[in-house]
Amino acid sequence: MAKNFSIRRQPGFATLAMFSFFVLYLPIATLVVYAFNSGTSIATWEGFSLRWFQSAWQNQQVIEASIRSLQIASIAAVIATACATLAALATTRTAPYRGLTFKYSMVNMPLLVPEIVTAVALLILFSRIKVWTGYSGLGYLILAHSAFCVPFAYLPIRARLESMDLSLERAAADLYANAFQTFRYVTLPLLWPGILAGLMLAFVISLDDVVITEFVKSGGQDTLPTYMLGQLRRVVTPEMNAISTVFLMLSLAIVTVFFFLSRNPQKDDR
């Protein structure tokens, strides 16, 4: 009987699931709809129009903040994924030993510590470095985002490594492949879906971050989320809805692309 148990067949599961999705996506749907509102109100529908998308497109501050956000998120995601891949290999391709669980905890520490604590700590650290070096560029934001995104990239990569069959790597070693060759021709191709998933998560988390960015950035380094936060403190217009809608579409496009890139053709053919 236990083997035939399925949560989807339990009474009320479908109703509860549909209600949860409704509560989750209704605000997003409302935001998208009012992005096309012709009036200035975000609560009263006054007709269909693309004026707010045009307004955002012509807003130089929005363009600069968007480009800056994409630059930081792209670089930080690559750095975080590379570090996460090395950490996942080091913590999974080894025999259990005392202290291994502690290393897991250290890698995932940014997930456990409140983000505001991390932001304040980075503010104090980077403020001293800025005084010592005189440098106040985007490097601090990239470094902060990279460090914060490592655990988000680490979890899917580690999960992929733990689910992989070690017999192929052992067979490569039996055929006199060294460690690098085994990783290059055996481990990496099998690990690729996990790396893509980690890269996607790191990119989206970095693109969306507000708290750490708000504390670490210098003057004139607004990303799109911090720019929108500043605008919402002054006046709320459907232009913010339009910007949010564009980034929602961008996120959906990224998820779709990574989904198709990480698909296993052999499984799809079965």
**In-domain check, residue 161:** yes
pLDDT, position 247:
85
Report yes or no on 93 lying in a domain: yes
* Whether the predicted pLDDT of 270 surpasses 80: no
Q: Please give the backbone phi and psi of residue 2, each rounded to the nearest 5 degrees, phi first.
A: -65, -35
Q: 208-231: per-residue pLDDT in tens?
A: 899 999 999 988 888 988 988 888
Q: Which of 5-9, 190-194, 224-228, 245-249 has the lowest mean pLDDT?
A: 5-9
CA distance 210 to 227: 10
Q: Is residue 49 part of a domain?
A: no
Write down the pLDDT at residue 264: 55
Lowest-confidence region among 3-7, 210-214, 256-260, 261-265? 261-265
Q: What is the mean pLDDT of residues 198-210?
A: 90
Does any domain span residue 54?
A: no
Domain that holds residue 65: 60-269
Residue 196, Cβ neighbours under 10 Å: how many?
A: 19
The overall pTM is greater than 0.85: no
SS (H, E, C) the chain: CHHHCCHHHCCCHHHHHHHHHHHHHHHHHHHHHHCCECCCCCCCCCCECCHHHHHHHCCHHHHHHHHHHHHHHHHHHHHHHHHHHHHHHHHHCCCCCCCHHHHHHHHCHHHHCCHHHHHHHHHHHHHHHHHHHCCCCCHHHHHHHHHHHHHHHHHHHHHHHHHCCCHHHHHHHHCCCCHHHHHHHHHHHHHHHHHHHHHHHHHHHHHHCCHHHHHHCCCCCCCHHHHHHHHHHHCCCHHHHHHHHHHHHHHHHHHHHHHHHCCCHHHHHC
Poorest-pLDDT segment among 67-71, 157-161, 231-235: 231-235
The share of the chain scoring above pLDDT 70, in percent, equals 94
Q: Are 145 and 206 in contact (CB under 8 A)?
A: yes
| Within a domain: 129 | yes
Q: Each residue of 128-154: pLDDT tens digit? A: 998 899 888 899 999 999 999 999 999
Q: How far apart are CA 237 and CA 38, in angstroms?
A: 11
Distances (CA, A) of 112 to 24, 87, 108, 216: 24, 18, 7, 20
Distance separating alpha carbons of residues 76 and 87, to the nearest angstrom: 16
For residues 80-93, give the mean pLDDT.
90
172 within a domain of the structure (yes/no)? yes
Mean pLDDT of the chain: 85
Residue 268 has pLDDT above 50, yes or no: no
Rounded CA-CA distance 255/12 in Å is: 30
In-domain check, residue 202: yes
70 inside domain: yes
Q: What is the pLDDT of residue 269?
A: 45
CATH number of the domain residue 227 falls in: 1.10.3720.10
Contacts of residues 135-141 at CB distance under 8 Å and 24 or more positions apart, as own/partner, are: 136/218, 137/218, 138/68, 138/71, 138/72, 138/221, 140/216, 140/217, 140/218, 141/72, 141/213, 141/216, 141/217, 141/221, 141/223
Number of structural domains (the chain) is 1
